[in-house]
Amino acid sequence: MIWVTDWLFTPDRLIQYGVVVVSFIIALYFNKHIREKIRLHPVEARHKRLKDFFYRLLRRTILPLSILLLLGLGILIHQIQGAGFQILTKASYLAVAFLLIRMGSTFISNNTISHTITAIIWTIAALSLTGYLQLVIDWLDNIRFDTSENGLSVYDLLTSTLSVATFVWIALSISEMIDRTLHSKLDMSLSARALFSKISKFMLVGIAFLIGLYTVGIDLTAFALFGGAMAVGIGLGLQKVFSNLIAGIILLSDDSIKPGDTIVSDGRYGKVNRLSARYISMITRDGTEHLIPNDELINERVENWSHTNDNVRLRCSVGIHYDTNPHEAIALCIEAAKETPRVLDVPGPNCLLKGFGDSSIDLEVRFWIKDPMNGCANIKSEVMLKIWDKFKHHDIKIPYPQRDVYIHTVNE
C-alpha cells in the first residue's frame, strides 16, 4: 500500500494521469465534431473507391491524431516547467500505436471487423509497451481445460482462434479480388463466373483454416476422425444441405439457369437475381424475392424464358360478332399489335381464327416481346386497348352472350 501511494499516486503522476484523461475527453469531442463536418461536406473524388478509402482514413485517424497532439502539448508544458512526464511519454507511445493501427485498419471496409482487429492489436501493443505482455501470456497459458501437461490452455485457444480468423480473412479478401476479376471478364458467361467464384472461395477458406491451425502447432491428422464424424453427420441429417450444394454446382456448370434469366417456378415467374451454394434468388414483378432451393430446380420442371433467347410469345383472345367481316377484324388486330411499342416486328404479330363459338367468332392475337421481366399482363392490356379503339372506330362489335327464353302456355 505504501508503494502504491509513494510511486503510483504521487502528485506529479496524478497530474499526468489527469492530462491523459483530459486529452482523451477533448479528443473525443473534437473527433465527434469533425466526423459530423465530414459527413456534411464530403470531399469530391473522382473514383468512388478512392473517395471511400479517403473518408475511412480521415474518420479513423482523427481521434488518435487529436490524442497525440494534446499529449505532445502536455509533454511540452511539462518540459518547460521542468516536471517529469514519464506517464505522458508512455501514453504518447500508445497513441502512436493506436494511430498506426487505425491507419492499417483503413484497408478493411467492414467496420465491425476493423474495430475488432484494432482493439486486439492495440491491447497487445499496450501490454507490450507497459511490460505486462509476457505476464498475461504466462497467466493465460496456466489456465488449462484439463490437468494434463499437453492439455489445451486458454492461450492456445485464443492464439488458434486469432490465427484461423486472420488466415480466413486473408482468404476472403483474395476471394473478393478474384470475384471482381471474374466479373470484369465479359467473355465468360455469368454462370461460369459464379461457379469459379464459389469454388475458389471454398478452396481458399478451407486451405486458410488448415494453415491457421497448423501455424499454432495443432496436429492436422486429428481431422481424420473429424472427417469421419462429418461423413456420418451428412448421412444422417445433412442430406438436403449437400444435395442443394451439389445441385448448385450442377446449375452453375451446365449453364441451364444463370443470373439475369427469366424463369417460371411453381407458377411464379421472375428474374434470377443471384445463385448461391444453397438456393437461387428470384425477384418477381411485385418485388417479392423468392429463395428457391437448388435441388428443386434440378428435380422439378422449370421454364426458362431466356435460356437460348429472350423472345417470348404472348396470346390474347378476342371475340367478334357474327355480322362482322372476320378478315377486316384480323387485319385490325394485327395493326393494333404492330402499333404497340414493345411488340417485336420480327417475328411479327399474327391473328388466327380459332373457332365459331356460341355467341362470337373467336380470334387469337399472337405477338412476340423480348423483355418479359418488364411485364406480360401490361403489354397484353396495351394491345387489347388498341384493338378496342380500332374496333370502335370501324364499328366492329364485340358480342356478349344472349339467351332467348320461350314461354309456352298450356291450354287446359
Give the pLDDT confidence of 38-93 residue by residue, as tens digits: 654 444 544 566 666 677 777 777 777 888 888 888 888 877 777 777 777 777 87
Q: What average pLDDT does range 333-357 have in this prediction?
A: 91
Exposed (0-12), middle (13-18) or buried (19+): which is 323, by Cβ within 10 Å?
A: exposed
In the structure grid, which three cell numbers stand for residue 355, read together?
A: 373457332
Count: domains in the chain = 2
Q: What does each C-alpha distance from 385 to 12, 197, 316, 380 come to in angstroms?
A: 90, 47, 11, 9
pLDDT, one tens digit per residue, over 90-138 is 778 778 877 777 777 666 666 676 677 777 777 777 777 677 777 877 7
Q: Summarize the confidence of residues 212-217 as an average pLDDT.
A: 68
Q: Assess whether pLDDT exceeds 80 at residue 213.
A: no
Residue-wise pLDDT tens digits, 178-198 = 777 777 666 666 666 666 777
Rounded Cα–Cα distance for residues 132 and 294 (Å): 54
3 has pLDDT over 60:
no
Last residue of a domain, one of 107, 131, 155: 131
Give a yes or no: residue 113 inside a domain. Answer: yes
pLDDT at 235: 58
Q: What percent of the chain has pLDDT over 90?
A: 12
| Residue 80 resides in a domain | yes
Q: Is the pLDDT of residue 327 over 80?
A: yes
- The pLDDT, as a whole number, for residue 383 is 93
Give 169-179 pLDDT, tens digit per residue.
778 778 777 77
Q: Confirm whether 53 is domain-assigned.
A: yes
- Interatomic CA distance for residues 167 and 165, integer angstroms: 6
Owning domain of residue 359: 312-393
- On the question of pLDDT at 224 being above 60, the answer is no
The answer to whether residue 33 sits within a structural domain is yes
- The whole-angstrom distance between residue 146's C-alpha and the CA centroid of its chain comes to 42
Structural contact between residues 379 and 342, judged by C-beta atoms closer than 8 angstroms: yes
The reported pLDDT for the residue numbered 41 is 46
Q: Is position 93 within any domain? A: yes
C-alpha 19/C-alpha 90 separation (Å) is 13
DSSP states along 61-102: HHHHHHHHHHHHHHHHHHHHHT---HHHHHHHHHHHHHHHHH
3-state DSSP assignment of residue 300:
coil
Does any domain span residue 105? yes
Confidence tier at 334 by pLDDT (50, 70, 90): very high
User: Does residue 326 fall inside a structural domain?
Assistant: yes
Q: What is the CATH number for 373?
A: 3.30.70.100
Rg (the chain; Cα; Å): 37
Domain final position from 131, 157, 173: 131
- Considering 111, 131, 151, which residue would you say is the last residue of a domain? 131
